[in-house]
Amino acid sequence: IMTIVLPHGVLFRGGNEEEIRRNLIENNNIDAIIGLPANIFFGTGIPTIVMVLRQKRDRDDVLFVDASKGFIKVGKNNQLRARDIRKIVDAVTERREMPKFSRCVDREEIRRNDYNLNIPRYVNSAEADEQWDIYATMFGGIPNIELDRFANWWDIFPSLRNALFCHANEAYSKLTPSPDQIFDTIRRNPEVSEYQLRYLEAVNPLRDVLIDIVVNPLSSPEHLRRLNPAIEFNSFSAHLFDVIKPFTLIDSYAAYQILEDNWRKITFDLETLQSEGIEAANAVDENIIIKKKDGKDVEVQDGWVGRILPFELVQQEMLDSELEKVAKLQAERDASTGRIAEILETLPEAEGATPWIKDDGSAFVPKELKAKVKKIKQEFGTKLPEDSAEAMLVEADKLLDLEKKQKKAVNEANDLLQENTIALIKKLPMKDILHLLVAKWIEPVRKGIASLFDKEVKDFAEKLDALDTKYCDTLVNIDDRIAKSEKSLASLIDNLTGSDFDMAGLREFQKLLRHE
């Protein structure tokens, strides 16, 4: 087998390249042609292909794959995701045909095209052109032919279309719920609810399978040493595809991406545990960050981190009451900070210099503010005019003192929480370690895969909303608004005065507005 990265031009240019293509096809050497996204290699932005050649083949077709649409933007370059790579691999290794993605083409068809191997000749991955119905644009309604594009939803949920649309006439429908109720209407449909229930019943057991694969072996040093994350990933991902396959609305490659994203973290942790033992889960390390000092980068400690178990996770799972206390103190401090900022924004501009406020107006100067407040109290005593600048300055002075105490309380609570977290991690028993690893490794996978159906519903609802918006503002409505505006403007002209020439011109303008 030989694979070559090439520019697209070799697939359709004439001359010697055409002769090479002819020979490769007639000698049955081209196994697959894979079109990649543009700007995927450093140094060039052109789209490229991968040509897969085999010396000996037992079939005479060519697999064309258009993978040019599957990527994410990373900086200035495009990058294939794990799901994109897996989809390409599945198409090539299984000779799988997928709509708008891959197709097996026999040699005779290629001959009829004069050995032109340009991918768009064989795989049309372009999105359908936007349609505009003239009647609906003029009079409203959604063309049934455009609703028919969602046949995959109507086939699976036969009652859903009637729940969302009513007939305007034979060829047009009208959206029944308001646009902001489309999602809820879909979710409340009994057939949709039943589908989601079956989906969750199918994917939720994956949690226990994953626990058996990567968590339970940790309780035995021998099983931990034998654990191979790469082999287990391949086995579990194959099982994942089998589980999701019956649910055709769910993109199985999206589920694969969720698994792959989280598996990287699992693999990293497992490698640490395999090399250091389960005791690594009880380890706490210095958090080292890089800071500038005298123009140079230096390493300094900024708190502590768990080698395997994140502090935030341990606190959420096992120190929730202390975490709640810190959150309450932070909320109180934020309320004081917010009120101080509100006073700064609403404070009337003082005459002359205001040394108690920074020049940029961003904050109070505490020392100067106290001196000002002292004078205010001497002048007014306790009877300050309500909502006056003096009253606000006195309030700000009190809030600054309170904020200072609140910041100290937050810092002390955070320090205590960190100390307790460190002490807790260092003495965690195996049972709690396994529980926390389930929360760190398994729950994100379970939640991500379980949420895929709701994401599909949301995407479907947005498409229906866009379709309704497309035809809701009809030409008839626009004409009606124009007519009302013209009538209103014509009546307003009656109130104008001017010279005889001005008024004569305005009367002619009124005739135009009134269509006389």
Return d(Cα 15, Cα 20) in angstroms, integer.
9
Q: State the amino acid at position 295 in one-letter form.
A: G
Q: Which residue has the tokens 């904020």?
A: 403
More confident residue, 375 or 32: 32
Q: pLDDT digit string (tens) for 177-231?
A: 999 999 999 999 999 999 999 999 999 999 999 999 999 999 999 999 999 999 9
Q: Which residue has the tokens 């037992």?
A: 58
How many residues are present in the chain? Answer: 516
Q: pLDDT digit string (tens) for 422-452?
A: 999 999 999 999 999 999 999 999 999 999 9
Averaged pLDDT for residues 10-28: 94
Per DSSP, the three-state class of 304 is strand
With pLDDT > 90 as the criterion, what percentage of the chain qualifies?
70
Name 180's Cβ contacts closer than 8 Å, sequence gap at least 6.
Answer: none
For strands 30-35 and 62-66, give the pairing: parallel
Q: 501 pLDDT band (50/70/90 cuts)?
A: confident
Q: How far is CA 220 from the centre of its chain?
A: 39
**Cα angle, residue 450 at apex, residues 447 and 452 outer, rounded to 5°:** 110
* Nearest Cα residue to 395 out of 355, 340, 332: 340
Q: pLDDT digit string (tens) for 52-97?
A: 999 999 999 999 999 999 999 988 889 999 999 999 999 999 999 9
* Contact call for residues 176 and 165 (beta carbons, < 8 A): yes
pTM of the model: 0.84
